[in-house]
Amino acid sequence: MEHVKALDFNGYRIAGWKCACGEKYYEPEGAQKVLLLNKLKKQSLKAKLGRIKSNLILRLPTDIEHALNLKQGEDVFISIENDAIKVVPA
């Protein structure tokens, strides 16, 4: 078996192992994140808006936090596309 850093798995590239016979084994943590992302893409999730002093804050569900590896204090990019908000990890 050979360790490979970028195997195709459900439209994403994750690490895993590839056998000479063609079989692939994916790292479980990466595969779980991909499966969670694909599940979240099919859903419409509800999030809460809050306020700290004069700033409006967006509270994201824990599933999104885990799927995108977001951490408290981390920067994200926010853009407006077609009258919608898009939030992307920095």
* Boundaries of every domain in the chain: 1-43, 45-90
So what's the pLDDT on residue 1? 85
What is the CATH number assigned to the segment(s) 45-90? 2.10.260
Phi-psi region of 20 (alpha: psi -120 to 50; beta: other; left: phi over 0): alpha
Confidence (pLDDT) at 23:
92
Q: What is the per-residue pLDDT across 36-79, written as a single tens digit (0 to 9) for each?
A: 888 888 888 888 899 999 999 989 888 888 888 889 999 999 99
What pLDDT sits at residue 15?
93
CA dist 90 and 87 (Å) reads 9
| pLDDT average, residue stretch 12-24 | 91
DSSP labels for the chain? -EEEEEEEETTEEEEEEE-TTS-EEE-HHHHHHHHHHHHHHTS----EEEEETTEEEEEPPHHHHHHTT--TT--EEEEEETTEEEEEE-
